[in-house]
Amino acid sequence: MAEEVPSRTPIPVQVGHYQIRRKIGEGGMGVVYEGWDGRLGRAVAIKAVREASKSGDARSRLWREARSLARVSHPRVCQVFDVLEDGNDLFLVLEFLDGQSLANRITSGSITTSEALHDLGIVHRDLKPSNVFLTRHGVKLLDFGLARSTSPALTVDADQAGTSTALTGPGQIIGTPQYMAPEQASGGTAGPAADIFAAGSILYEMLAGRPAFESSSCVDVLYAVLHHDPPPLSGSREIEALDHMIRLAIAKRPEARYSSAREMLDAVNTVSLSSSTAQALQTRTVARLIALPFRVLKRDEETDFLAYSLPDAISSSLSGIDSVIVRSSLLAARFEGPVDLKRIATEAEVDAILTGSVLRAGDQIRVTCQLVEAPSAKMVWSETVSSSMQDLFKIQDELSQRVVHSLMLPLNERERHTFRRDVPASAKGYEFYLRANQIVATRTLENMRLARDLYLQCLDDDPNYAPAWACLGRVHRFIEKFGEDPDQNFKWADEAFRKAFALNPDLAIAHNLHTQIECDQGRARQAIVRLLDRARSRRNDPDLFAGLVQACRYCDELEASVAAHQRARHLDPHVVTSVAHTYFLLGDYQKTLECYGTKGGFYLDCAALVMLGDKETALTKLRKREHITGAVQAIIQSLRAYLEGDFEECLSAIEVGEPLARKDPECLYYMARHLAQIDQRERALKILSSVIDSGFLCGSAMSREPWLASLHSLPDYSLLLHSADLRRNQAHASFLEAGGPQLLNIT
């Protein structure tokens, strides 16, 4: 209140016995003056409502604000001293605060983490930075014009809960759009949970230096409040922990938020800064981008593949930059066709959308691109790039650089070095690479074989192109899992990834795709160490954390596996992880099922249904899936036969599938469950022994798994558990040494 503002209305000399010194605030509905109480020798703030002399509603609003404040007894709330009537004018006399509003403080830059840890646990229906005042003695809350109910965290009279207050402005929305909870924005009742939402929005703004929900119009702001989440915050692990806390506070559903202001404050206080210098780091928001399939203006069999493969290549080139999260091309393919920016922004949860068109004219390819903000549709830039078919990489490179420049993405030395590292040496080879990428977008066994041949043609022309080796490893892995000759394809996949690493040790796509191979080779502990080391500098790579989901599970770090999944989904709500298997090992079959949603799985959703007692639904699903090939087909047939009571067929399916699953210890674990259920206990124990020897350390799951309970009485069962525990302890030591709990925010 101590800041003087230019005067737009005449300043009175005196109100009652209070002398008026200056105007310190003015808005659309009223004005605030600094006054002097000569009787008590103190400064006061005097608030007047413009329409109080003309409108009975305005007078009622001011009286209700005064009564609401009078009921509040809290050191963080601005005190009310008096209400004066001077002729037809009505004035509210308040405590004078020496300092500045939080809104003004934020305009000078984002606030450091230590400043942000203020007590925001005050119930208020219009919490916003301009109503939070920073004084030399702490924080004060202003403007209780919308106060309706109280929180147990504040010592307020119980009867205030029934107080009804009017709007601050006739016909206006109750509250300030940027800080309104969704239930307020949609016309519902604003209870204590709405204050939690506003407090989270304020804390976000304090850290980011920008509102969590902003746009050029009130309508768009309210749309964002209802449908969008703000960009993630990064800069240090402490900031990420606060960001996670903020997400709970600004959840769309009231019941998903903190249950009370006290619970939220306790969560803030768990973020420790005592042993870190991270509070001095600059908080940054992480941009979220999706590159949509380009429109083909004139169909041409020779160039149609560019509609998918060019935006995919741009996405891949940007994926190594930590200040941007690029949504997958698989997700982008869902939005092919007419562009609905609001729908895309909501469903893909992005802030920027890259669209484009492709036109061939002779040997020239012309690509026109637009980068637009979402959901406002504000054009960031538009550009046309032309090139011959022999120089397609030029188009991808120029457009990628424009995106980096337009989004003002900060690049560190590593990112500048890797951003243009993988430059193809052969135009024809790069064309083969792009064509293969288009084909693998639809993941069928036949498509993977076609893509494999194109990647090989690319590498024949350009054997030093690392991304092609990594993608070749991916298709060999898919064919190994669902096709023929698993041993040979597994070997080829591993060799392809090793060549990719030899050419570019920092290639993100290779690191993220190689994790599955490492785990199935018994090197999950090495995978954890490698991925955690990368996570120190690549905090915003959802695929990296998706890889940690599997690596941690294989080492029996199930809590860490779930934490890695949560981090991955926080960065990209659409990223695919294997956390369903983690929940199954934890015995949480309902969460296992929820991972699949309306989409069908292969085997695990049916196994979870069985454990939840819904055998009929499981059988129906299993009978529709027996066309699937490879080791997965064996466990599908085995479970189906077991549920039908045909134990002989159940065993026969396992006998066929076991050789196919030699490189997949997790699949073998599920086979062991079936064997234990049909009284093949010794054989089940033997498979579990090989599973543990292969590096799938499932000791804790074995102990809690109901279908393995019959094995507990076998003499070798305890020895097997002991062996798993010893290996798990070694893996856990590596996990701790690599900083796993800190990097995954496990308390």
Q: Would you tell me how many other CB atoms lie within 10 Å of the CB of residue 49? A: 22
**In which domain, by residue range, is 306 found?**
286-420
pLDDT digits (tens, 9 = 90+) for 192-226: 888 889 889 988 988 888 899 988 788 888 888 99
* Closest to 182 measured CA to CA, from 233, 261, 251, 134: 251
Q: Is residue 78 part of a domain?
A: yes
Residue 174 has pLDDT above 70, yes or no: no
Whichever domain contains 199, its CATH number is: 1.10.510.10
**Of residues 128, 164, 160, the one with CA closest to residue 146:** 164
In this prediction, what percent of the chain has a pLDDT beyond 70? 83
Euclidean distance between CA atoms 688 and 520, whole angstroms: 15
> Do both 90 and 107 map to the same domain?
no
Check residue 552 and give its pLDDT: 97
Mean pLDDT on 412-435: 80
> Based on the domain organization, do 714 and 599 belong to the same domain?
yes
Measured distance CA(721)–CA(285) in Å, rounded: 46
85 or 439: which leads in pLDDT: 439
**DSSP result, 329-354:** HHHHGGG-SS--HHHHHHHHT-SEEE
Domain of 293, CATH number, reads 3.40.50.10610
What residue has token string 């239930």?
A: 183
The CATH number for 62's domain is 3.30.200.20
Q: Are residue 165 and residue 214 in the same domain, yes or no? A: yes
Confirm whether 721 is domain-assigned: yes
User: What is the pLDDT at residue 154?
Assistant: 35
User: Is residue 90 domain-shared with residue 152, that is, in the same domain?
Assistant: no
Mean pLDDT, residues 159-180 taken together: 52
Higher-confidence residue: 96 or 708? 708
222 and 263 together in one domain:
yes
In this structure, is residue 691 part of a structural domain? yes
Number of domains in the chain: 4
Contact 308, 407 (CB under 8 A): no
End of a domain among 393, 420, 447?
420
Buried-state track 85-113, b at ≥16 Cβ within 10 A, e below 16: eeeeebbbbbbbbebbbbeebbeeebbbb
Q: Is the pLDDT of residue 648 over 90?
A: yes
Give pLDDT, residue 720. 95
Question: Is residue 573 domain-shared with residue 685, that is, in the same domain?
Answer: yes
Segment 639-644 mean pLDDT: 96
pLDDT at position 155 is 37
Residue 607: inside a domain, yes or no?
A: yes
CATH number at residue 730: 1.25.40.10
* Residue that terminates a domain, selected from 69, 95, 121: 95
pLDDT given at position 169? 41
**Would residue 126 show up in a list of annotated catalytic residues for this protein?**
yes
| DSSP element (H, E) containing 652 | helix 647-660
Residues 416, 519, single domain; the answer is no
d(CA 470, CA 507) in angstroms, rounded, equals: 9
Token pair for residue 531? 């991925």
pLDDT at 52 over 60: no
Instruction: Examine the fold and report which residue of 284, 314, 343 is the final residue of a domain before the chain moves on.
Output: 284
Residue 439: inside a domain, yes or no? no
Instruction: Give the pair of three-digit tokens for residue 541.
Output: 């790579």
**What would the two tokens of residue 519 be?**
């785990």
Within 10 angstroms of residue 139's Cβ, the number of other Cβ atoms is 18
How would residue 116 be classed by pLDDT, with cut points 50, 70 and 90?
very low
Strand partners, 357: 295, 368
Please tell me the distance from the alpha carbon of residue 457 to that of residue 404, in angstroms, as a whole number: 31
How high does pLDDT run on average in the chain? 83
In a domain, 228, yes or no: yes
Is the pLDDT at 146 greater than 90? The verdict is no
Q: Which residue has the higher pLDDT, 167 or 230?
A: 230
For residues 144-163, average pLDDT: 42
The mean pLDDT value for 34-59 works out to 77
Instruction: Tell me the pLDDT tens digit for each residue of 463-514.
Output: 999 999 999 999 998 888 776 788 899 899 999 999 999 998 888 888 878 9
Closest CA to 406 of 377, 366, 372, 376: 372
Which of 359-363, 478-482, 597-601, 614-618 has the least mean pLDDT? 597-601
Please compute the mean of the pLDDT values over residues 93-110 and round it to a whole number. 70
Q: One of 37, 126, 143, 312 is an active-site residue; which one?
A: 126
Report pLDDT digits (tens) over 251-268.
999 999 998 888 888 888
pLDDT confidence band for 126 (50 / 70 / 90): low
Q: Is the pLDDT of residue 145 over 60?
A: no
Instruction: Establish if 460 belongs to a structural domain.
Output: no
**In terms of domains, do 535 and 680 share one?**
yes
Dihedral pair phi/psi, residue 514, rounded to 5°: -75, -15
Residue 586 in any domain: the answer is: yes
Q: Do residues 150 and 266 share a domain? A: yes
Residue 602 has pLDDT above 60, yes or no: yes
What per-residue confidence (pLDDT) applies to 153?
Answer: 38
Residue 542 sits in the same domain as residue 556: yes
**What is the separation, in whole angstroms, between the first and last Cα of the chain?**
41
Question: Are both 295 and 404 inside the same structural domain?
Answer: yes
Question: 83 has which bridge partners?
Answer: 92
Which helix H or strand E contains 371, and what residues bound it? strand 364-373
Q: What is the DSSP string of 550-616?
A: HHHHHTT-HHHHHHHHHHHHHH-TT----HHHHHHHHT-HHHHHHTTTTS--SSHHHHHHHHTT-HH
Q: What is the mean pLDDT of residues 606-619?
A: 96
Whether residue 557 sits in one domain with residue 513: yes
